[in-house]
A and B are shown apart, each in its own frame.
Chain A
Amino acid sequence: MPYDSETKMTGPYFEARYSDGRTAAARDIRVALSKHGLLLRQDYPAGDEVWPYTSLTTAEPLSSHAIDALISNAAQPGASLFVPNGSFARQLAQLAPHLTTRAARRRAAVPWLITAAVIVAIAAAISAAQFSPARAIASMMPDKVRKALGNQAVRSLTKSKPSCMQAEGLAAVSAMTRRLSSGLDGGRTFNVTVVDLGLVNAFATPGNRIVLTRGLIEKAGSADEVAGVLAHEIGHAVALDPETGIVRAIGMSAAVELMFGGSGTVSNIGVLLAQLSYTRQAEAQADETALRLLEKAGISAKGFGQFFRRVNKEGDAGSDSAGGIAGMLRTHPPTAERIRRVDAANTYRATPALSPEQWQAMKAMCPKAAKEDG
């Protein structure tokens, strides 16, 4: 841009160093802050030049404690001007406010602050509407995938611990399962595995599979108590809670990767399921299903409440021996409210969940239990 004779100076000249961007050579020139732009006073033959304020750019924005300024001109790529003078930087910041740190930060931050606010609002709306994207995906999962996930989960847990295969015990378990699931519509069947583990736990996996531990059967005082827990887990399975939990966990780990980078993968589905904790609504709903199934099967709901009190008492006593109350309790402790609801269940004609012989067979179905008995 040629020299503009109308240019009015607003300040003195500053020493500067000019590079044209074609080579790394630089030459010293003087610059001034004029009304229309930065005036570059060059010796013959180049002549004076004006860089309009609006076309100025800086790689590093001008901060209030700047002691120099390195300026480029969008209209003249490559060329740069270095002015080692803090007062110049501060005056320039006033004339070209888009070069300041504050402006740069606003440009960088505002769109993402709005984005984040929108994301949070959508998430809040979704949760307020009680819509669960994870549950929606889970309900679309094909049966084949459900089965494969469930098999993986059970296999990864029983890999080190043998499942309890004693024939009479298995028969008792399947009798109890059939009796409970007969109350469901559509004739759904459940595959229940008892694992030879000492800790008290029970959980449902995708694909209508349920895992009980030897510890849980040992802890229970009667077959009715086991039936209560089993009915509760059938309730989870019917509501697709395990599938939802897995989808949610995968989604979470993807989100964590998105935030922090990394290449972690969900590898042990079994451990994941054993540690999943469901929401209070999911627990309440599973309890409700359990009560309905118990009533239809003619099994007293008292056992269910009994089991709650039993594990709760243990928790109060602060017993912490080798994960005695781990698993089930840690993930979904029976609250007073849950116990009250179970206790308030209808009374109806009930028969024991298993015959005494069947109950004995169930208690003795694991190798370790059998060894201790003998």
Chain B
Amino acid sequence: MDDYVGGQPYGSGLQSRDAVKVSWLKPIGLLWLSIYNFIMRILTLGIHHFWGKTEVRKRIWSSVRLNGEPLEYTGTGRELFTGFLIVFAAVLLPTMLLTLAAVMLLGVDSVWLKVFQGALYAFFLFLTGAAIYRAQRYRLNRTRWRGIRAGLSGSSLRYAWTYFWTLLLLPVTFGWIAPWRSTLLQRIITQDMRFGDKHFRFSGGSGPLYKSFAVFWLLNVVVIGGVLAIIGKAIVGSMNAFQADEGDLRQQLPPDAIPGLLAAIYGGLFVAGLIYMVLSVWYRAAMIRHFARYTHIDGLDFKSNVTARGLLGIAITNYLLLFVGALLASVVLGGIGMVVLGGLSGFGIDPLGLAQNVEPQALAGRIGILVTFVFLFALGMLLPLTQARTSGYLVRNLALSGTIDLATVAAGAPEDIRRGEGLAQAFDIDAL
């Protein structure tokens, strides 16, 4: 029972100050849970998603141990589901109908339609901020340790507004507002966060983050510039070589030159994407360490030791897992699909039109679309596993120094948040 070291001597929590040791107890059976949830999601036409997600969270939460004792996730699938339904009925459905009405009334080419769509887009950006905050609040509110609940006591509108106007400044400042912005948003969340009646504190500014950001930004400019130059050169080169007097590029290029040009463009973009991923992970690691360094509660100070290398390793292996999982799932689902189609055709039902004399290309096209859809759907199958791996990495690299008098941490006033994080679910914002 090595996992339970760090517990305090019996009874000591009542008088003295306690150190808190964070540890990660690797959850067992997540692979099977991922597959179970995936199957159930299909069998229940998607509804099981919310219950599956809740079970995954319970596992991940209880893998986080403070002094050997697990965090508890007390949210329910029903809460997530009703939250989603309410947002769907109150936000998504009206938006869809409103857009349709606007297209019909204003016309496709109308300037007013563009204005309407712009306003709608801005409204959704604002809602995104609110969704992030509310999702966080729900999750904290459903997190307990030793029966004491965490929480987030502030205004989601205030956060949403800050999120919105600083977002508008991002392009204007060529991104240079980013470290200041993310620190500001993190500060709002952290200072609104509490465990029981104890508030978290955030003690720093964005200054130290700017060094990492400058490197990140400059390297990005160099990479993007370089790739653009290479692609541009390839295009100009091909055009010079093959362009006749007039007409568009595609018809003038001999067919055998096109693959080379496409390879240059996509290859360039792929390499640029990889480099960008490495750079952004490097900056993200710096940001996580930065945020942790300034987070405190009572006498406890947070410290994160995450590294770019560690995060990158987790990210790459996670992508591979998702890919392989989706591949296997697609093969299995494809096999089942064939059997089902065969069975249906026995009853004279033929959804793909196999019995009609369709050209082979058209049939291949239909099957291709179907397989792509199944693959994209299956990409999410192993998400519980990858989320647990990411959480595990973050938790294993988290340390708390200092002490806290746990006997003085009282349960906060009870709050009543019945619904889940519908808004975030609808916008697909989801850290866990």
| A contacts, CB < 8 Å to B | 17, 19-28, 59-61, 63, 65, 67-68, 70, 72, 78-80, 82, 84, 104-105, 108-109, 112-113, 115-116, 119-120, 145, 148-149, 152, 155-156, 159, 250, 253-254, 257-263, 265-270, 280, 315-316, 318, 320, 330, 333, 335-336
Contact = CB atoms under 8 A, between A and B. Distances in A.
B425 A261 contact: yes
A113 B43 contact: yes
A149 B107 CA distance: 10
B428 A261 contact: yes
Interface stretch (B64-72, B217-225, B266-274): B64-72
A259 B46 contact: yes
Given A20-B147, A149-B104, A263-B124, A116 B47 contact: yes
29 contacts: A17-B69, A19-B147, A21-B146, A21-B411, A23-B148, A23-B411, A25-B407, A27-B11, A60-B62, A63-B29, A80-B146, A104-B55, A112-B51, A116-B47, A152-B103, A156-B108, A254-B93, A258-B46, A265-B96, A266-B96, A267-B108, A268-B108, A270-B108, A315-B359, A318-B361, A333-B358, A333-B359, A335-B356, A336-B357
Given A59-B72, A263-B124, A27 B147 contact: no
Given A26-B406, A60-B62, A152-B103, 4 more contacts: A19-B147, A20-B147, A105-B36, A108-B51
A159 B3 CA distance: 68
A56 B74 CA distance: 14
Contacts of A68: 70
Contact of B58 (A59, A159, A258, A265): A59
Contacts of B99: 265-267
Interface string B91-102: 011011001100
Contact of B362 (A20, A24, A330): A330
Contacts of A105: 36, 55
B44 A26 contact: no
A38 to B, nearest CB: 16
B428 A59 contact: no
A119 B45 contact: yes
B362 A333 contact: yes
B147 A21 contact: yes
Contacts of A262: 426, 428
A112 B77 CA distance: 12
A26 B426 contact: no
Given A28-B10, A70-B62, A145-B104, A23 B44 contact: no
A63 B63 CA distance: 14
A104 B36 CA distance: 14
Instruction: Count chain B CB atoms within 10 A of each CB in A145, A265, A336 and give the residue with the most.
Output: A265
Contacts of B59: 60
A78 B108 CA distance: 58
Contact of A59 (B144, B195, B408): B144
Nearest to B148: A24
Contacts of B72: 59-60, 70, 80
A21 B358 CA distance: 68
B95 A265 contact: yes
Interface in B335-357: 356-357
A17 B1 CA distance: 15
Contacts of B13: 24-27
- Which 7 A-B residue pairings sit nearest by Cβ, starting from the closest? A21-B147, A19-B146, A24-B409, A28-B10, A25-B407, A108-B51, A25-B13
A229 B44 CA distance: 44
A244 B427 CA distance: 30
B48 interface: yes
Interface in B138-185: 144-148
B369 interface: no
A19 B66 CA distance: 14
B44 A115 contact: yes
B8 to A, nearest CB: 8
B4 A108 contact: no
A155 B409 CA distance: 66
Instruction: Count chain B CB atoms within 10 A of each CB in A84, A253, A268 and give the residue with the most.
Output: A84
Interface string B187-199: 0000000011000
Nearest to A85: B1
A53 B23 CA distance: 30
A238 to B, nearest CB: 23
Contacts of B425: 261
A29 to B, nearest CB: 9
Nearest to B377: A260
Given A70-B72, A78-B411, A84-B4, A258 B88 contact: yes
Nearest to B13: A25
A260 B28 CA distance: 28
Nearest to B429: A261
Contacts of B196: 23-24
Contact of A112 (B47, B62, B357): B47
B73 interface: yes
Contacts of A270: 108
Nearest to A266: B100
Instruction: Count chain A CB atoms within 10 A of each CB in B36, B104, B196, B428 and give the residue with the most.
Output: B104
B62 A59 contact: yes
Contacts of B411: 21-23, 78
Interface in B13-35: 13-14, 28-29
B109 interface: yes
Contacts of A26: 8, 13, 69, 146, 406
A116 B45 contact: yes
A109 B148 contact: no
Contacts of A70: 62, 69-70, 72
A115 B47 CA distance: 9
Interface string B393-407: 000000000000011
Contacts of B43: 113, 116
B145 A24 contact: yes
A43 to B, nearest CB: 9
B62 A25 contact: no
Nearest to B356: A335
Instruction: Count chain B CB atoms within 10 A of each CB in A17, A21, A28, A60 and give the residue with the most.
Output: A60
A63 B32 CA distance: 13
B395 to A, nearest CB: 16
B410 interface: yes
A318 B364 CA distance: 14
Contact of B44 (A27, A72, A109, A269): A109
A270 B73 CA distance: 49
Contacts of B195: 24
Contact of A21 (B47, B109, B148): B148
B7 interface: yes
A258 B46 CA distance: 9
A161 to B, nearest CB: 14
B40 interface: yes
Contact of B69 (A82, A119, A320): A82
A260 B45 CA distance: 11
Contact of B40 (A63, A109, A253): A109
A84 B1 contact: yes
Contacts of B3: 67, 84
Interface in B409-432: 409-411, 425-428
B103 A267 contact: yes
